[in-house]
Amino acid sequence: MRPIALRAVALISIAVALSPAPAAARPPSTPNPQDAREAQRLFESRGGARILAQRVASVAEVAAVAAATEGLTASDALALVTGAGPDAASLTAAATCYSVEYSFSRGVFPYHRWVVGQTYWCFQYGGVITYRTSNTSARVDGVCSGSNARDWKTAGGAGYSWVVVHHEADFSCATPWWFPLNDTLWMEATFDSYGNAWLSRTA
């Protein structure tokens, strides 16, 4: 081997020998009890349940939502929303509809999270509910994430004078340590045929 090549090999060997070894991965840190209690307190701090907004919705608006949600023609959606059967147009004015948005929250920043529900419902005033559709979303602030937002009817509905809807979502919040903080928030909202809406249960 040529002297120049030998010198090059020697220099490479020295450089490799002097290179710092990669740092070993640090094991996840363990919180001291006081820090863990404080994180749990912020995570579990109760927020509140409230109606965010409520407004009158036109029958046409709700019928459009029903057509998209249920996969119906415009005339069938109008009949469903008004509860009028095939002669829906004659009872359009008799049906009253509302849209309402409401929420239930828990946690303090950076563990703030809340489940939000939105419902359209229509009714013959003082009589029966003719149509109801709801949706749910999970919202967060800080180091949390929400998933699997869902809702379903638990009582009443079309043909009754009231309806109860259950909303819930799952949450996971990162911590400075090896474990996350997880829970599920849920609430139930009630609607009647007088246009009233209120949150009846939360957890």
> How many domains in the chain?
1
SS3 126: coil
Residue 60, in any domain of the structure: yes
Residue 86, in any domain of the structure: yes
Residue 22, in any domain of the structure: no
Residue 20, in any domain of the structure: no
Which DSSP state fits 89?
A: G
Provide the residue-wise pLDDT of the chain in tens; the chain has 203 residues.
444 443 443 333 434 344 444 444 455 567 788 888 999 999 999 889 999 999 999 999 999 999 999 999 999 999 999 987 654 444 455 899 999 999 999 999 999 999 999 999 999 999 999 999 999 999 999 999 999 999 999 999 999 999 999 999 999 999 999 999 999 999 999 999 999 999 998 98
Name the residue range of residue 114's domain.
36-202
What is the pTM (predicted TM-score) of this model?
Answer: 0.80
Residue 165, in any domain of the structure: yes
- Is 115 in contact with 185 (CB distance < 8 Å)? yes
Residue 157, in any domain of the structure: yes
Calculated CA dihedral for residues 179, 180, 181, 182, nearest 10 degrees: -120
Rounded Cα distance, 43 and 85, in Å: 50
Residue 1, in any domain of the structure: no
